[in-house]
Structure 1
Amino acid sequence: MERHLIVLDLDGTLLTDQQTISEKTKNTLFKAREAGHQIMIATGRPFRASQLYYNELMLTTPIVNFNGALVHHPKNKSWQTVHTPIDMSVVHDVVDSVDKYQYENLIAEVMDDVFLHVENQTMMDMFNMGEPRVTIGNIKSTLNEDPTSLLIHAEEEKVAIIRKHLEDVHAEMIEHRRWGAPFHIVEIVKKGLNKAVGISLIAKEMNIPRERIIAFGDEDNDLEMIDYAGIGVAMSNGIDQLKSIANAVTLSNNEDGIAELLIDRLKLS
């Protein structure tokens, strides 16, 4: 069996609804690695919120964080990190233009530092994984460098309106994605960035061709990745748009969907 690159989204894909990796999926991934395949994570999360799972799988590969805005190698400091933040002037323009939509909060992340526009305990709890440095206050005055990502937290019925506005007004400068339930959040990164960009960089360095990339995802921030991979796999709990472009649909994140497909495709036992 030729060597494959297995790419794993985290939330709704590798992780169960209890935010754990099932034993069957973990053991299957270990078997895949023993068979010579490479395994990596591609997530919208920052590294501090994905490191736990990176370590649990005992990975030694590069990782894609922030939906492609950060591509780095936690185990190899000589590996060339690619960090592509959003220009501060674009952030100010976006903040000014969405003021009329009465959002709940704005969150900016500079690598692993968090800037909260308005103090909110729920947001504090959600972004506290990895114990980041948190700054609270008007982002236009507290944010002191180009952020890796910008998040808009809004009421559910306003998310689509905000995304339509971003597409109409800022499409040339940013990419935006919607988080899955229960968080009604629009995540923004610099134009041209997505998980597939980072994966292609890593696969090239590993000398693994596109047709031997198996990628798993469930949400709209996985669209480019699933389309790019030679074998793009949507979880059964994923969005319909993703399933429509995937090469395969596997069982849900709570039913060992990753394990079931890998056992079949890679002849693992």
Structure 2
Amino acid sequence: MERKLIAIDLDGTTLNNESKISSYTKEVLQKAAQAGHIVSIVTGRPNRISENFYDELNIPTPMINFNGALGHIPHKNWDKEYIETFSKDIALDLVAEKEKLGIKIVAAESKNYALADQPNNIIPDFFPATLKANEVLNAINLQKDPSAMTMLVDEHKLPNIVETLKANFGDKI
């Protein structure tokens, strides 16, 4: 048998309409892994909201998060782990300019932290519903460069936000 890499996304593919892995999908993926194939989750999601699916599948392979910015094996030290980041100043600039731009919420995160400038109950998986003082996105708490940013924006202001991001940060983001 020739070993294959089976890279699976989560949203819109592996997860069903209830954001769960069906028993059939789980069985198929576990059989593929048991047959010697490499089944690996590759997602835009942060690790904090994808490790539960990794654990459910019980696959000992690398997982890719943040659209490729983090490669790791959850719960293990792996000598090939990598993390790509960008300047924390970008996140802090966006927090400072958010009202002017029409950004409702700004979140910045990496493998071991997630910060947001305010809590949110609309999309609790991506934005925290509650924040402790050390989870607020500000210059004091954002000590390391993040791997990803997520923003909740006014859709009518999105073209202006995109234009501003390109003009101010170009290929840095």
Q: Same fold (TM over 0.5)?
A: yes
* 8 Å Cα contact 2:4/2:38 also seen in 1: yes
SS in 2 for 1:92: helix
Q: So what's the TM-score if we normalise by structure 2?
A: 0.82
The change in CA–CA distance for 1:10 and 1:127 in structure 2 (over 3 A counts) is same
| Pairing of 1:78-157 with structure 2 (within 5 A) | 78-96=78-96, 99-124=99-124, 126-128=126-128, 135=134, 137=136, 139-157=138-156
Measured at CA, do residues 125 and 149 of structure 1 come closer, stay the same or move farther in structure 2, by a change above 3 Å? closer
Relative to structure 1, the CA distance from residue 6 to residue 133 in structure 2 (aligned partners, 3 Å threshold; closer, same or farther) is farther
Percent of aligned positions with the same letter in both sequences? 33
Q: Which moved more, 1:44-53 or 1:84-93?
A: 84-93
- Measured against aligned partners, the alpha-carbon deviations of 1:117-151 in whole angstroms (never above 9, x if no partner) come to 1233335564459x997745462444222222222
Contact 2:120-2:128 at 8 Å conserved across structures = no
Change (3 A) 1:88 1:158: same
Query: What residue is the counterpart of 1:13 in the other structure?
Result: 13
1:41 aligns with 2:33: no
| 3-state SS in 1 of match to 2:171 | coil
Q: How far apart are 1:10 and its partner, in Å?
A: 0.9
Check conservation: 2:8, 2:40, Cα contact below 8 A.
yes
**What stretches of structure 1 of length at least 5 have no aligned partner?**
175-269
Q: Is 1:7–1:39's contact at 8 Å kept on the other side of the alignment?
A: yes
Deviates more, 1:57-66 or 1:90-99: 90-99
Q: Residues 134 and 128 of structure 1: is their aligned pair in 2 closer, same or farther, counting only changes over 3 Å?
A: farther
Q: Structure 2 CA distance, aligned partners of 1:10 and 1:132?
A: 26
CA distance in 1, matches of 2:54, 2:66: 15
Per-residue displacement from partner, 1:208-262 (whole Å, max 9, x unpaired)? xxxxxxxxxxxxxxxxxxxxxxxxxxxxxxxxxxxxxxxxxxxxxxxxxxxxxxx
Mark the CA change 1:64 to 1:134 in structure 2 (over 3 Å): closer, same or farther.
farther
Q: Deviations over 1:139-194 (max 9, x none)?
A: 244422222222221122223432233233322201xxxxxxxxxxxxxxxxxxxx
C-alpha contact 1:5 1:40 (8 A) present in aligned 2: yes
In 1, Cα distance between equivalents of 2:105 and 2:135: 11
Give the AA of the match of 1:164: E
- Unaligned runs of 5+ residues in structure 2 are none
DSSP 3-state at the match of 2:165? helix
The whole-number CA distance in structure 2 between the counterparts of 1:110 and 1:30 is 28
- Tell me: CA distance 1:138–1:73, structure 2 relative to 1, closer, same or farther (3 Å): closer
Following the alignment from structure 2 to structure 1, what is the Cα–Cα distance between the partners of residues 133 and 55? 24
Q: So what's the TM-score if we normalise by structure 1?
A: 0.56
Structure 2 counterpart of 1:227: none
- Pair 100,17 (structure 1): closer, same or farther in 2 beyond 3 Å: same
Q: Which residue of 1 aligns with 2:162?
A: 163
Larger RCO, structure (CA 8 Å, separation 6 or more)? 1
Within a 5 Å distance, the mapping from 1:41-80 to structure 2 comes to 41-74=41-74, 76-80=76-80
Query: How many residues were matched structurally?
Result: 173
